[in-house]
Amino acid sequence: MRSESLILVVDDTPGIREALERILSKEGYRVLTAADGEEAVKLLQKHDVALVLTDLKMPGIDGAELLKIAKTISPDLEVVLITGHGTIDVAVEVMKDGAFDFIQKPFNKMTVVKVVKKALEKRLLVLENKNLQQRLKGIEEAEQVIGKSMAMRKVMDMVEQVAPSTATVLVTGESGVGKEVIARALHMMSPRRDKKFIKVSCAALPETLLEAELFGYERGAFTGAISRREGRFELAHGGTLFLDEVGDINPAVQVKLLRVLQSGEFERLGGGTTFVADVRLIAATNASLKKLVEKKLFREDLYYRLNVINITIPPLRERREDIPLLANYFLHRYAAKNGKDITGISKEAMDILIRYHWPGNVRELENTMERAVVLSRGTAITPSDFPEDLRQAADEHQEVAIEQRMLNIPIGKLPLKDIERLVMEETLRQSKGNKNIASKILGISTRTLYRKIDSSGGASDLHADSED
């Protein structure tokens, strides 16, 4: 910790300044010195200072004012005041503004070392706590928009494990599953969280513009380039660059992207200056890059450079237990956004959401819930708030699923009457007592189903169940 901690010593007395520098340097700290508050401010703006050790009484910007300026420039740094006997009361008051402690003149080496050590330990604890909170926030935000099913827990476990590294990540999955959410979670839980997260939608940009968008260009590089422009690699410097639908990148840009991944360098279009690409690269695709490689549409060497770590997000239909959580999350978000007093989702409406197969995944669910919130006239979302085709598709999907499960009924050598009773009971159970759906699956009228229920003691307990 000592070799990484930079301490700024500020005092208008050369002897005190030099003594403190000598004491701290011998303890292994890196030390900057300033003769007054004005010089100290300039150094704070240029360097990542961990601790300011400043005299309280100085001409110009004194220690009390420097404390406020330093905290504005870098809220996480600590400030220790040096004070004479006559200014102790002032020092105590200044500590209310955020100073860690004060050292009284004349001081000895042991006191200085002890106070500095404690101040830096406190700063480290604060930073660790802040980092932990940001990591937890990243996880919580991702879970709200992604889900908490076992499948998604495995995804989030991988995100937590991979986020602190600098490894390139390829996020795969169908459209709408939440690939960008995972990319943002990786960024939020990484050491680069305080820097920019820059997204490039590769599929949305024409081939001629994608290269300029990524790498930037110099004035006159092509028709219309009337001034110099930084590319996304430069804008994301120190942060994360997210390439969405990376499979749509054309061969020429693939070559340049490969070079960045191999050497960490690039040039703007029309320029000769080489830039260093200090970015964490995350790519996403809903296509199989491996198949694109086989078809000679995507470079194999680039594929392996991108696929260092692969995170695959399963479709929503394979993790239906996430639907209630996601639906309620979107409900509250859009109810607040639209000023609607909607507090929940009816059981019948939730059953429809769970039964529907969601080809558009989480994005389609979000759009459905936004529409429902806007159109709803009550305090709860009901089936009538959903499009008719969604309600019908949900029923059809349930019918197919029930029919498939019916094949597993162990009929053995049972009499025909018992087989009929078992099939009817299982159909009613799988359709949760919905007799309209059950009769449709069985190929009989609802009246016939009621008659058969009346004549069968085994299914009579389902008389009271739902018909919606």
Q: What's the pLDDT tens digit per position in 240-292?
A: 999 999 999 999 999 999 999 999 999 999 998 999 999 999 999 999 999 99
Q: How far apart are CA 366 and CA 250, in angstroms?
A: 32
The set of residues, in sequence order, having a beta carbon less than 8 Å from that of 254 and lying 6+ positions away, is 298, 299, 302
Q: Which tokens belong to 93? A: 């008051």
Predicted local distance difference test score (pLDDT) of residue 3: 52
**CATH number of the domain within which 299 lies:** 3.40.50.300
Q: How far apart are CA 20 and CA 9, in angstroms?
A: 7
**CATH number of the domain within which 430 lies:** 1.10.10
Same domain for 53 and 192, yes or no, is: no
Same domain for 416 and 457, yes or no, is: yes
Q: Has residue 138 been placed in a domain? A: no
Same domain for 355 and 413, yes or no, is: no
Q: Has residue 90 been placed in a domain? A: yes
Tally of domains within the chain? 4
Q: Has residue 394 been placed in a domain? A: no
Same domain for 222 and 154, yes or no, is: yes
- Are 335 and 375 in contact, with CB atoms under 8 Å apart? no
Same domain for 216 and 300, yes or no, is: yes
Same domain for 210 and 301, yes or no, is: yes
Q: 99 lies in which domain range?
A: 6-126
Same domain for 286 and 326, yes or no, is: no
Q: Which of 274, 297, 312 is the last residue of a domain?
A: 312
Strand ordering across the sheet containing 78-83: 30-34, 6-10, 51-55, 78-83, 101-104
Q: Which of 312, 339, 357 is the last residue of a domain?
A: 312
Q: Has residue 467 been placed in a domain? A: no
Phi-psi region at 315: left, alpha or beta (left = phi > 0; alpha = psi -120 to 50): beta
In DSSP terms, 240 is beta-bridged to 197, 280
Same domain for 362 and 382, yes or no, is: yes
3-state secondary structure string across the chain:
CCCCCEEEEECCCHHHHHHHHHHHHHCCCEEEEECCHHHHHHHHHHCCCCEEEEECCCCCCCHHHHHHHHHHHCCCCEEEEEECHHHHHHHHHHHCCCCCEEEECCCCHHHHHHHHHHHHHHHHHHHHHHHHHHHHHHHHHHHHHHCCCHHHHHHHHHHHHHCCCCCCEEEECCCCCCHHHHHHHHHHCCCCCCCCEEEEEHHHCCHHHHHHHHHCECCCCCCCCCCCECCHHHHCCCCEEEEECHHHCCHHHHHHHHHHHHHCEEECECCCCEEECCCEEEEEECCCHHHHHHCCCCCHHHHHHHCCEEEECCCHHHCHHHHHHHHHHHHHHHHHHHCCCCCEECHHHHHHHHHCCCCCHHHHHHHHHHHHHHHCCCCEECHHHCCHHHHHHHHHHHHHHHHHHHCCCCCCCCCHHHHHHHHHHHHHHHCCCCHHHHHHHHCCCHHHHHHHHHCCHHHHHHCCCCCC
Q: Has residue 49 been placed in a domain? A: yes
Q: Has residue 410 been placed in a domain? A: yes
Same domain for 378 and 453, yes or no, is: no
Q: In a structure prediction context, what are the per-residue pLDDT tens digits for the chain, which is 468 residues long? A: 455 689 999 999 999 999 999 999 999 999 999 999 999 999 998 888 999 999 988 999 988 899 999 989 988 899 999 887 656 677 677 777 888 988 888 889 999 999 999 999 999 888 877 767 766 666 666 666 677 899 999 999 999 999 999 999 999 999 999 999 999 999 988 999 889 999 999 998 887 789 999 999 998 888 887 888 899 999 999 999 999 999 999 999 999 999 999 999 999 999 989 999 999 999 999 999 999 999 999 999 999 999 999 999 999 999 999 999 999 999 999 999 999 999 999 999 999 999 899 999 999 999 999 999 999 999 999 999 999 989 888 766 554 444 444 445 555 555 666 667 777 777 777 777 777 777 777 777 878 877 777 776 544 444 444 544
Same domain for 88 and 72, yes or no, is: yes
Q: Which tokens belong to 425? A: 């009971």
Same domain for 171 and 217, yes or no, is: yes
Predicted local distance difference test score (pLDDT) of residue 402: 46
**CATH number of the domain within which 35 lies:** 3.40.50.2300
Q: Has residue 1 been placed in a domain? A: no
Query: Is the pTM for the entire model greater than 0.85?
Result: no
- Are 245 and 208 in contact, with CB atoms under 8 Å apart? no
Q: Has residue 173 been placed in a domain? A: yes
Same domain for 117 and 36, yes or no, is: yes
**CATH number of the domain within which 342 lies:** 1.10.8.60
